[in-house]
A and B are shown apart, each in its own frame.
Chain A
Amino acid sequence: MFRIDATLTGQWSDTQIRVIERGAAAKFARALGLTSGIHYDPDAARLAGYRDVVAPPTFAVTLLPWQIPGLELPEAGVLHGEQEFEWGEPLCAGDAVSVRGRLDDIKTRSGQQGRMSIVTIVSEAHHESGALAFRARAMLVVTEEGEHGDR
């Protein structure tokens, strides 16, 4: 079960340090069908001006900190409503980025399909240099079906 409490708005997650691994970046690129060598081959990446193989832009989703203390989302029944990314310095293999997220907004609405909660989480990731890696905003819709789900 889960709990959605509007008083949690503004709550930050812990800051996590996440290291970008070559294999993880390549696996993500392969899952999307990307063919550019910059995601697979360190030499090709360096030739294109990157430090090492570069993660595809939306790889950032794997780094998002969904664990906001006090916010319990159901394991299923959460629909993704919107997603936004702004990128700074690219994420390359070997980079260690610090990532944290904040519960930005919770709205609860009642409609024909029952109660739904709209949860917005904003996140930011920075390189060790302090340079921005990315900012993200995720809008999630938790439906009553999700609320009653127990798996």
Chain B
Amino acid sequence: MEIGDVFGPYHFQVSREQLVRYAGASDDYNPIHYDDAAAKGFGLPGVIVHGMLNMGLIARYMLEEAFDGQARLEHYAVRFRQMVQPGCPLTVTGRVRDIADDVVYVDVQLAADGEKPAVTGKMRLRAGVRKGN
């Protein structure tokens, strides 16, 4: 692995079913994530994906795809820049910003196809499977 290496692009969509699953799993029942009328009442185009679901999905692609389960997240910060709607084609990418021994710094983003990034962030991962606990 070298500085500048790119992970992805990983392509996917978030379904409405996933929004409901995530609402239940995270105990976040804000109606803007499942009720179109409520979302429109708050000036949104319709239901939107939980920011934290987007954050979690980026982490999933980095941990399970880019690092193949061989790294642990130590630090992760994101900025939510645009709304994401269910059914919209999405892409996650990562780029290695720095490496220091077994610590890897990765810039990440999630974007709807052809749009500006909806979520941008930075991760610090420690490579290597954890031993003992």
Which A residues are within 8 Å of any B CB, using their own CB?
Answer: 24, 27-28, 30-36, 38, 48-51, 56-58, 61-62, 75-87, 89-90, 92, 137, 145-146, 149, 151
Instruction: Establish whether residues B26 and A62, one from each chain, have CB atoms under 8 Å apart when the complex forms.
Output: yes
Collect the chain A residues with CB atoms within 8 Å of residue B32's CB.
76
Q: Which residue of the partner chain, among A33, A35, A80, contacts B51 with CB atoms under 8 Å?
A: A80
Closest residue of chain A to B74, judged by CB? A87
Complex CA–CA separation, A61 to B41 (angstroms): 26
Min distance, Cβ A80 to any Cβ of chain B, angstroms: 4
Collect the chain B residues with CB atoms within 8 Å of residue A36's CB.
63-64, 69
Which B residues are within 8 Å of any A CB, using their own CB?
Answer: 18, 21-22, 24-27, 30-32, 38, 41-43, 51-53, 55-57, 59-60, 63-64, 69, 72-80, 129-133
Instruction: Establish whether residues B38 and A151, one from each chain, have CB atoms under 8 Å apart when the complex forms.
Output: yes
User: What are 18 sample pairs from A and B whose C-beta atoms fall under 8 A apart?
Assistant: A27-B25, A28-B26, A31-B26, A31-B53, A32-B59, A33-B60, A34-B64, A38-B69, A56-B60, A58-B56, A76-B32, A78-B30, A80-B51, A82-B78, A83-B80, A85-B73, A87-B74, A146-B42
Complex CA–CA separation, A57 to B57 (angstroms): 11
Contact A31-B75, Cβ < 8 Å, known A36-B69, A80-B51, A145-B43: no
Contact A51-B133, Cβ < 8 Å, known A81-B79, A145-B43: yes
Q: Which residue of the partner chain, among B52, B59, B60, B130, contacts A80 with CB atoms under 8 Å?
A: B52
Min distance, Cβ B72 to any Cβ of chain A, angstroms: 8
Complex CA–CA separation, A43 to B12 (angstroms): 30
Instruction: Establish whether residues B74 and A86, one from each chain, have CB atoms under 8 Å apart when the complex forms.
Output: yes
Min distance, Cβ A99 to any Cβ of chain B, angstroms: 14
Contact A33-B57, Cβ < 8 Å, known A27-B24, A48-B129, A50-B130: yes
Contact A48-B130, Cβ < 8 Å, known A36-B64, A86-B75: yes
Q: Which residue of the partner chain, among B21, B43, B64, B75, contacts A30 with CB atoms under 8 Å?
A: B21
| Apart from A56-B59, A90-B133: 12 A-B pairs, beta carbons within 8 A | A31-B25, A33-B18, A49-B130, A79-B51, A80-B52, A82-B77, A90-B72, A92-B133, A137-B77, A145-B42, A149-B42, A151-B41
